[in-house]
Each structure stands twice: as C-alpha cells, then as structure tokens.
Amino acid sequence: MQTNKRKETAKILIACGGKTGTCMKAAQLLASKLTRFDVTLKDMIYEGVPSRAELRVYDAVIIGGSVRMGSLDNLALEAFCTAQEAKDDGACPDVLLGGFICCGHPERMREYVAKIPRAIRDGELSVICFGGELSRERTRGLERIFVRMMRNKILYGGENGDGEVGVALPTLNESDIGQFAAKLADVINGGA
C-alpha cells in the first residue's frame, strides 16, 4: 500500500445493493463524510457488481449490502467474493476492502456476515452494521406485507397491544457510519 502517496487523493468505491434504497442512503451518508477523498458511488442493482478490472483503479472498495428475509443480498455477497478473489490472485493487491450491512437486527450480524470472505470480515476495515429501516413505502408485493407485519408487531404488538417493550423501529445509525468513515480515513492515511 502506498500510504504516503494516497492521503487525500485516494479513490474510494462504495458499491451497494439492496432493493429498497436503504443501502444507497447509507452509502450516500458514508460518502458525505469522506469529502476529502475522491468517492464513487455504484448502485449494483442498476450497474452490476464491480469487475476485477474496475477494482484496480481504487485505493479502497467498500461494499454495502442489505438483509432481506434473513439473508445478505446476493449482489453484495458476489461483490465481496469477487473483490477478495481479485485481491488474492494479485489483480488488485493493494486495495483496501471493507463493507457494511443494513439490517434491522444488528444482534444477528454474525450470521449475516458468515458467508463473506474471512479476510474482509476480519480485515483492517471489517464489515459493520449501519442499522436499517422498515419502510413500507419502498417495498412491493409480498415483502411489503412482511414489512407491515414486522412494523405492526413492534408498534402495536406485545402483551397488551401497546407495542413491544424496549423495541423501536430500526433506523440507520449515523454515529456508526461516521465512525466507519473516520476509521477508513485513518487506514488510508496510514494510521491503522
């Protein structure tokens, strides 16, 4: 890694999947905290998973995914695996890899990240939870029904129908996003 050369000229790719827009919202919040760097956002739903050749032009690649029906989305998983394979076979050996997951159940992160390559999970940047949202407005079909059921259980369920005690609707955690941005900047600048 050429940390002396990088500093504020570092190029960062934030590639994310997700069907409801929460993941892109998290990516945009992360990018807004990295303004001293050259940040590119890529929506993998429309632009596909970054290719091995594309990964080479960046100093850091951050992959974001969302959890749907208890599993990490396939685009994010494919991107994590492609990036690690490219790093392992020497196509982009100096690229920093990390990621985030948007989910409403951070206590289940261990199972959500289980299929992500260990080198990324346990690497300098790792993979962290940015929280999530249960947005009825941005879901469709059967998924909308499940989201409504989950929201209703939290808001109106529980023993007395007053909502679950000690449970709130999930939200994106801007504090965690800010901490991840600071950690990324620190690693790029050679401080980790």
**C-alpha to C-alpha distance for 8 and 29, rounded to whole angstroms:** 19
pLDDT digits (tens, 9 = 90+) for 129-152: 897 655 555 555 656 655 555 656
Nearest to 16 by CA among 38, 48, 39: 48
- Entry pTM: 0.80
Amino acid letter for position 106: P
Residue 61 has pLDDT above 90, yes or no: yes
β partners of residue 85: none
**C-alpha to C-alpha distance for 142 and 136, rounded to whole angstroms:** 11
**C-alpha to C-alpha distance for 122 and 141, rounded to whole angstroms:** 37
Residue 162 has pLDDT above 90, yes or no: no
CB neighbourhood size of 179 (10 A): 13
When pLDDT is averaged across residues 119-132 and rounded to a whole number, the result is 90
